Amino acid sequence: MQYLTLAAALLSTSLLATAAPTSSAPLERRACSVAYPQSIGFPINYDIHQDAGPTNVVTNALTFSNIPAGSYGCQLEVNFPAAYPITKSGNSLLNVYAESGSNKGSLFGTVQLASSPVAPTKFVINSATCDTLMSYKLAIASDSQAGRVAFADTKDAGFTMTYNC
C-alpha cells in the first residue's frame, strides 16, 4: 500500500513539473527581412550571355545597398512564381562572383535558374556576413561554350537578399 501511495505521489509531482510553463513571455514569430537589388525601378532586365570561345561576354551586376548596419545572416536567393518566363539557351549555368567585401573577386555560388510550371521555385545561392553594400557579378559559367540567361527581376520574382532570420 505504501508503495502505491509513494508511486502516485511521485507521478503526480513529475506531471506537475513537466506541465508547468518555463517562461511567462509570449512566443513571437520570427520573420526574415528582405532586401531587393538596387535599381532605378522595376523590372530589372537581366541578360547574361556569351558566344562560344568565350567571346562577346556580357555580365550583369547585382547590388544590394540597402542592408541595415548590424544585420546578420545575409543569404542571396532567387525566387520565381510558378511558370515564370526565363529565357535560356546553350550553357545557361550562372556563376555568381563577389564584387565587394573581403572575398571580392571570388566565386560566391553557381545556379541554374528555372521556374516550375506548377509551383514557386526558390534557389539559395550562398550566405555571407552582412555588409551595408553587397555586390555581385553574374556570368555564364562555361569557359568555352555559348550560353544565355535572361529574365525580368520584379518584386515578385528574381534576386533577393534575406537577413536577420
C-alpha distances in Å from residue 75, one per residue of 3, 42, 118, 125, 130:
59, 21, 25, 8, 9
Average the pLDDT over each of 21-30, 94-103, 120-129, 153-162 and give the range with the smallest value. Answer: 21-30
What are the tens digits of pLDDT across the range 42-79? Answer: 788 999 999 999 899 999 999 999 999 999 999 999 99
Please tell me the distance from the alpha carbon of residue 123 to that of residue 84, in angstroms, as a whole number. Answer: 14
What confidence category does residue 103 fall into, taking pLDDT thresholds of 50, 70 and 90?
Answer: confident
What are the tens digits of pLDDT across the range 118-140? Answer: 999 999 999 999 999 999 999 99
Which domains does the chain possess?
A: 39-163 (2.60.120)
Global pTM reads 0.79
Residue 133 near residue 26 (C-beta atoms within 8 A) = no
- Residue 14 has a pLDDT of 46
